[in-house]
Structure 1
Amino acid sequence: MYMKGRNVAILFFVAMLFGAGMAYAGTQIVEKADSADQETEENDQIDEDGDNRSQDNSQPSEEEKLELIEDYRQMGAFSKVLQAYSIIQNNYVEDVKEEELIEGAIQGMLDTLDDPYSVYMDKETVEQFNDAIESSFEGIGAEVSIVDGRVTIVAPIKDSPAEKAGLKPNDQIIEVDGENIEGMDLYDAVLKIRGEKGTPVTLTIKRPGTEELLEVEVIRDTIPIETVYTSIKEVNGQTAGIIEITSFSENTAADFSSALKKLEEEEQIDGLVIDVRGNPGGLFTSVENILGHFITKDDPYVQIEKRDGEKVPYYSDLNEGKDYPIAVLIDEGSASASEILAAAMNEAGDYPLVGTKTFGKGTVQQAIPMGDGSDIKLTIYKWLTPEGNWIHEKGIEPTVPVEQPEFFYANPIQVEESLSSDMTGDQIASAQLMLKGIGYDPGRTDGYFDDKTEQAVKAFQQDQGLQVTGQIDNRTASVLEQQIVEAVRSEENDRQLKKALEVLFQ
């Protein structure tokens, strides 16, 4: 009881300091004090004789006195915030909305954490982002994060407008429809990128490894949250099941369980490939349930490290693992929950990881309601691999490294004027990579437009029913990019999948 009374005393102390000049803060102080008084009354007990007796009439101990002093000190520090609020509210040259000041203060505190994953979301933002987990939303279909102060694509969603437009992991978004978004809050930036189905948005992209900025137009669409895809491959008389997980949402674990059961019982698979390439993560509980199919109770599938350094291992209830081989596909677009899955399958399950190094996100966030529909999404834990490794900003290395063909990484072609003989530049180098990737030999891929490149362009134009000029105009560039998208989606060109199947049955 004393401790609750102590809180009331501190709140009263603050009220005396700031008085009527703190309208918003004063309201909160009164509400908290009333709540504390009510709790005090409810904790007084009436004994069998009908006497009203307090639970604790003792004087504060030395330890409680020290805590009281510390609370006064903290409230003294907080008084500076209230003072700044009062000064701005009463003296700024223009009227300032109370709500904007409060939300600005909250965002300012979160900014000092230097953590792109800890953010404030107002009510409208919370409602819009809940859609991305629960059903579907309208936008370009890409997971983004803040990396080195810039809005960066973690991965485009499978079959989304972002993927079709050629956006790639690690692309940095500099402008949205000509508006510079560098330094902008992540969720504010995302709301600018999102929009109604059928509307265009132009993104100015800085792609690592290229000097020129790219202008990419994306037509927004409805992005359904279908996260599990299955297929079958026959390899030397053996059947391989492939389950691709594009993100971890509310229904992912249940959909995965159904898909796995069907593959095992109906297809009677001899091996399994789990593909989390381009999977930006999602719900922690979803990946936990999926790992429960493979990682036995003998080893943890993940460890959670609290702020005090305590490490808590998490175990499944599984007694026996699978009796068939499994491989996991990863790449630079695999992040967060995907990395939890990959690390667990490798370190606890001893299954191979095939592909390229993952994104590197080793923290866990929780959305904490503020009571008015807004949330603080706060990093509350680090997650560690079963062996205790923290992969944050490092990623997970594959045990079987495999790069995709060069044309998978070709940049979109930006044609301001037709590209022709004797010209040089990154755009020509991209076109040469694309031509080579779909079977036309440009002779070189260094960005110099020579006679052999011109002959390759003419052959491509002839085959596609285009005007044969030997120059790359907008029409030729557009058709070339369409051909590359189809080539990238073709399993015939997927070196990583081929290697995973080879590893499975070696």
Structure 2
Amino acid sequence: MTVIRAATAGLALLLMAACTAPTPPRSQASEAAGTVCTQPQGRLGAETATTIDVIKQAYFCILGNYYSGATLDARSLLIGGFIALTQELNRNGRDVPEATMPALTGDRKADWTAFEAVYRKITDQVPDLRDKLAVVTLEAMVAALGDNHASWPHDAKRPPDMYDGDGYGLGLEANVTRSQTTASPGVALAPLFVTTVQGGAAQAAGLRPGDIIESINGSAPFIDGKATPAIAALYLQYPQARPVRLRLLRQTTGRRWSVTLKPGLYQRDLATLQVVTSKLLDDSIAYVRLSGFAPDAADRALKAISRLRSGRTLTGVVLDLRGNGGGRTEESGRLLSAFVHGKVTHYLCTVDDKCEGLRTDDTVELLNLPLIVLTDRGCASACEHFSSAVKDLRIGQLVGTRTAGIMSGPAQGYLLSNNTMLGFPTRHGLGPNREEINRIGVSPDHYAPLTPKDAAAGHDPALAKALTLLHK
């Protein structure tokens, strides 16, 4: 188990580094509190228990380094943490008289002292719950920021027999993404339907793309056109193992039936996990799919286009960024530089509106080809950096649906004393026209959503529209 944890911790470090902003100065607030948080150097050690001292370190780390830490009302963090603390006591049937929120004044240090004193009284009454209470408290404090790039990955669990490329869950993807069930549920469109069957229980049960999910564990996925929390059950993570009951409709045949899917480990097609895949369409159009802006992704995409261009004249490029969850902004910037030079592609701003423009790398050779970019609600973070630049700078056209709106800013990782990573933005991201993208997303130039009938027939309306545009 130690090996698995170390590997997972290393992955968390890599993910944090992938979105790292330029190093900010060490926070005076953190030093004054005696709880300095530092940026990690190398691989993380084995995770140790989360304690009140770790929570204190995270609290002052956020206030000293977070994008809006200087103006943040710190009471929101403490109240959020205390709410989670008392809810966990209640779930375990162990509520105690001492679990009463102390009066807070707005003085960050004094409020922490009051919070800590009550916290210690509570956990002394339930020592067997101490570890669990610490975890939920810190999770809730990070969640209280309401920032889609703030996270505290800890004690990451994975099946003991999991290998790279394996998946865990029901083995399906739907048109409402995992992020939409948490970050932006209000943008999901009914009906809910299967878009991809990856394997596992869904494949064994004979589910197909286009199958409409009418209910999940007896609950409707949409009520009055709004997505419900029931959808989250489709995206179970280890060690959640509760079976999920679905009511399904297959429009092509009119069949209605129910099936119970048990989450578990399944092997995925490794071809679908490649960061960059490419092919030639209509003898003259380069199609390149990027699942993420991983290290070297831009160069791999450019090499793929170069190979497709060898011995023929290309008339355009279709860059498929659907489902691209982001990654390194320098990679998205490098890829943009193959289509335009001398431009600002993105801004990173402090809370007092001091902004630094990220510019194109003009050493990258221009392709001088028409560009169409396919987007959807799975396109987030660095993917939205790319998409907004394509639209604002008129580099090409966007086809598909609006992006995720998950672009608060690149996350910086900070090492806590229990060898876990606390991540959050130190600056806020804006588009090339200094427009807000976070929580809003980037709208396509041509709206081409996937329908259940399209999915069932294997028809891709966004790609079809892209080819039509390039053939004009």
Q: TM-score when scaled to structure 2?
A: 0.59
Cα RMSD between the aligned structures?
4.8
% identity of equivalent residues = 16
Change over 3 Å in CA distance of 1:26–1:361 after alignment to 2: closer
Partners of 1:397 and 1:216 lie apart in 2 by 37
* Residue 244 of structure 2 is aligned to residue 202 of structure 1: yes
Contact 2:277 2:290 in 1 (8 A): yes
In the TM superposition, what is the alpha-carbon distance from 1:124 to its structure 2 partner? Answer: 2.9
Q: Bigger relative contact order, structure 1 or 2, given CA contacts below 8 A and separation 6+?
A: 2
Change over 3 Å in CA distance of 1:27–1:327 after alignment to 2: closer
Q: How many residues align?
A: 344
- 1:389-468 to structure 2, matched below 5 A, reads 389-404=435-450, 407-408=453-454
Aligned to 2:379: 334
Q: TM-score when scaled to structure 1?
A: 0.55
- 1:235-384 to structure 2, matched below 5 A, reads 239-250=284-295, 252-296=297-341, 298-318=342-362, 321-364=366-409, 365-384=411-430
Partners of 2:194 and 2:121 lie apart in 1 by 46
Change over 3 Å in CA distance of 1:203–1:79 after alignment to 2: farther
Contact 2:150 2:425 in 1 (8 A): yes
Change over 3 Å in CA distance of 1:111–1:240 after alignment to 2: closer
* Residue 275 of structure 2 is aligned to residue 227 of structure 1: yes
- 1:465-504 to structure 2, matched below 5 A, reads 484=456, 487-488=457-458, 493-504=459-470
Contact 1:340 1:385 in 2 (8 A): yes
Contact 2:288 2:319 in 1 (8 A): yes
Change over 3 Å in CA distance of 1:311–1:171 after alignment to 2: farther
* Residue 471 of structure 2 is aligned to residue 505 of structure 1: yes
Partners of 1:267 and 1:259 lie apart in 2 by 14
Partners of 2:412 and 2:141 lie apart in 1 by 17
Change over 3 Å in CA distance of 1:345–1:124 after alignment to 2: same
Aligned to 1:160: 198
In the TM superposition, what is the alpha-carbon distance from 1:28 to its structure 2 partner? Answer: 11
Aligned to 1:88: 122
Cα distance per residue 1:441-467 (max 9 Å; x no partner): xxxxxxxxxxxxxxxxxxxxxxxxxxx
Partners of 1:252 and 1:108 lie apart in 2 by 34
- 1:105-120 to structure 2, matched below 5 A, reads 105-120=137-152
Contact 1:346 1:352 in 2 (8 A): yes
Change over 3 Å in CA distance of 1:377–1:182 after alignment to 2: farther
For 1:124, what is the secondary structure of its paired residue? coil
Partners of 1:149 and 1:332 lie apart in 2 by 11
Change over 3 Å in CA distance of 1:308–1:254 after alignment to 2: same
Cα distance per residue 1:196-220 (max 9 Å; x no partner): xxxx96366999xxxx998673764
In the TM superposition, what is the alpha-carbon distance from 1:149 to its structure 2 partner? Answer: 7.4
Contact 2:334 2:361 in 1 (8 A): no
Q: Which has the higher helix share?
A: 1
Cα distance per residue 1:39-97 (max 9 Å; x no partner): xxxxxxxxxxxxxxxxxxxxxxxxxxxxxxxxx9533221112202221133x2x4335
For 2:284, what is the secondary structure of its paired residue? strand
Cα distance per residue 1:116-174 (max 9 Å; x no partner): 5423221335x89xx99xx5343247662264579999999977339975589x99997
Contact 1:144 1:151 in 2 (8 A): no
Aligned to 2:136: 104
* Residue 237 of structure 2 is aligned to residue 190 of structure 1: yes
Change over 3 Å in CA distance of 1:303–1:145 after alignment to 2: same
Structure 2 gaps, min length 5: 1-26, 35-50, 57-105, 219-227, 250-255
- 1:32-51 to structure 2, matched below 5 A, reads none
Aligned to 1:61: none
Partners of 2:182 and 2:54 lie apart in 1 by 40
Structure 1 gaps, min length 5: 12-23, 30-71, 410-483
For 1:190, what is the secondary structure of its paired residue? coil
For 2:127, what is the secondary structure of its paired residue? coil
Partners of 2:55 and 2:379 lie apart in 1 by 44
Change over 3 Å in CA distance of 1:378–1:167 after alignment to 2: farther
Change over 3 Å in CA distance of 1:215–1:367 after alignment to 2: farther
Change over 3 Å in CA distance of 1:95–1:342 after alignment to 2: same
